[in-house]
A = this chain, B = another copy of it.
Amino acid sequence: MNKTARKSRTGARRSVTIKDVARYAGVSPMTVSRVVNGGQYVSDTTRQTVMQAVRQLGYSPNLAARNLASARGERMGLLYGNPSASYLSEFLVGALDAATRHGVQLVLEKCEMTPTASRRAVRRLVAGGVVGVVLPPPLCESAVIRTELQTARMRIVAVAAGRPPADTMCVSIDDFAAAREMTRYLLALGHTRLGFIKGHPNQTASEERWRGFTAAVEEHGNLPAPRVEQGFFTFRSGLDAARKLLASEPRPTAIFASNDDMAAAVMAEAHRHGLEVPNDLTVVGFDDSLIAANIWPGLTTIHQPIAQMAGEAVDMLVAAVRGGRRGAAAEPVHRLVAHELITRESAARPKSAAA
């Protein structure tokens, strides 16, 4: 009957606005805005009052209005290539969750690792109004893509790069420490003849894992030289590497593959050789991807909190973009998150030790 009510298009409850809060707190909308956005130049008492009002009224800023007013077209890009695919699912969940929390839109773009493809992808992102990009592996290693993005004046956060360039924001686990921990675990089980399958040579994480492995081997000392094969993070490459490792004499009693897909391949190959895991052969992986729990025996592996990492990457991006607009030219941050060794059924004491 009154027009305010009629104004409400949807008939739904009109949400509480900054003005309501301002009136309630007895200050101006501007002050409320400053408080909510953590601006400086607000006295403590005022801040208290306003925050109180915010809580009482259950105020939450209207993102559309905020974006419009601040003219910050806050869209973040997520440039994904061909990650060890189960990665993507978790990654997206984490990233999207964080994006929603910050009220920014996430724009997906697929991209091969060739110069032309990446150029085109970046152009599409720019056209889409994207101001920052999250780079999951393996794209985060591509210098081409990074250069391309930097030329377009995008902020970027690399995720899970083993050794990120100093000028790039990055969130990752400590691949070195994780691989060392896993190797120590194998050694503690009593294994002495170890096999290792390296990851793709142009990802720095591969090298970190390899370094972690050798570090543990060396600190233990007094071991026969481990067998090492080159892999490429794919199931297929794991198959080839496993074949070679299992053919060697004496055969390793434990194989550490640089990721789960390759570890799964080792297990498949072991079966074909009539070897039982873990009794005849211990197999461990890295990543704790979906496949790790969905094969039998379950894979002992290193868990990366992928969703969390993706989320933090988005957080950093948002902070950088907003901070950047505010002039606070924060230097690139490298953020380490904790990994975890997950023990399932694929690792056991070697027979010789058990006997």
Chain A positions within 8 Å of B, measured between CB atoms, are: 8-10, 15, 58, 60, 62-68, 70-73, 85-86, 88-89, 92-93, 96-97, 100, 105-108, 127-129, 235, 239, 261, 264-265, 268-269, 271-272, 290-291, 293-296, 325
A71 and B235 within 8 A (CB):
no
Residue pair B92, A9 in contact (C-beta under 8 Å): no
Chain B residue at smallest Cβ distance from A13: B126
Please determine whether B93 and A96 come into contact, CB atoms closer than 8 angstroms.
no
9 A-B contacts (beta carbon < 8 Å): A9-B70, A15-B129, A62-B68, A86-B89, A88-B93, A105-B105, A235-B296, A268-B295, A291-B291
* Contact flag A296-B100 (CB < 8 Å), given A62-B68, A73-B15, A86-B85: no
Q: Which residues of B contact A71 (CB under 8 A)?
A: 8-10
Q: Report A278 CB to chain B, min CB distance, Å.
A: 13
Tell me what chain A mostly uses at the interface: helix, strand, loop, or mixed.
Answer: helix
Contact B100 A128 (CB under 8 A): yes
B108 lies within 8 A of A294 (CB): no
Q: Please give the distance in Å from A34's CB to the nearest CB on chain B.
A: 17
Q: Is the beta-carbon distance between B85 and A89 smaller than 8 angstroms?
A: yes
Distance from A184 Cβ to chain B, minimum over Cβ atoms (Å)? 28
CA distance A65 to B64 in the complex (A): 6
With both beta carbons as reference points, the residue of chain B lying nearest to A110 in the complex is identified as B93
B-side contacts of A96, CB under 8 Å: 92, 96, 106, 108
Known: A58-B127, A92-B92. Contact between A72 and B239, CB under 8 A? Answer: no
Compute how far the CA of A129 lies from the CA of B17 in the bound complex, rounded to whole angstroms: 13
Please measure, in the bound complex, the distance between the C-alpha atom of A108 and the C-alpha atom of B98, giving whole angstroms. Answer: 10
B70 touches A68 (CB 8 A): no
Contact of A264 among B66, B235, B294 (CB under 8 A): B294
Q: How far is the CA of A293 from the CA of B84 in the complex (A)?
A: 12
Cα distance A85–B171 in the bound complex, in angstroms: 24
**A264-B92 in contact given A65-B68, A100-B105 (Cβ < 8 Å):** no
- A294: nearest chain-B partner, CB-CB: B235
Residues of chain B within 8 A of A108, CB atoms compared? 93, 96-97, 100
Q: Give the chain B neighbours of A294 by CB distance below 8 A.
A: 235, 261, 264, 291
